């Protein structure tokens, strides 16, 4: 089967352009995310196993379960 993956000049003009995020906005967003992160190291596999065992949907539910 022969495939042609090259885009023609006409196709390139009709594709919508992706909007790039500014580096400053991305850095600010990443900085906020870093404030909420916790490194659990080698316990990560146990964390995921507990999450699946209890049928929890996200990591926040696991954290609340363990704290309560």
Mean pLDDT by 10 residues, the chain (68 residues): 60 66 85 89 96 96 96
* pLDDT attached to residue 18: 72
* pLDDT attached to residue 9: 58
* pLDDT attached to residue 4: 60
Question: Which of 38, 62, 65, 37 has its CA nearest to residue 49?
Answer: 62
* pLDDT attached to residue 49: 98
pTM for the model stands at 0.54
- Using CB atoms within 10 A of its CB, is residue 7 exposed (0-12), middle (13-18) or buried (19+)? exposed
């Amino acid at each position: 089967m022969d495939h042609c993956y090259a885009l023609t000049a006409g196709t390139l003009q009709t594709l919508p352009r992706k909007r790039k995020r500014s580096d400053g906005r991305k850095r600010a967003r990443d900085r906020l995310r870093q404030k909420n992160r916790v490194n659990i190291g080698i316990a990560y596999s146990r964390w995921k196993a507990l999450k699946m065992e209890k049928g929890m949907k996200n990591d926040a539910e696991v954290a609340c379960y363990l704290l309560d």
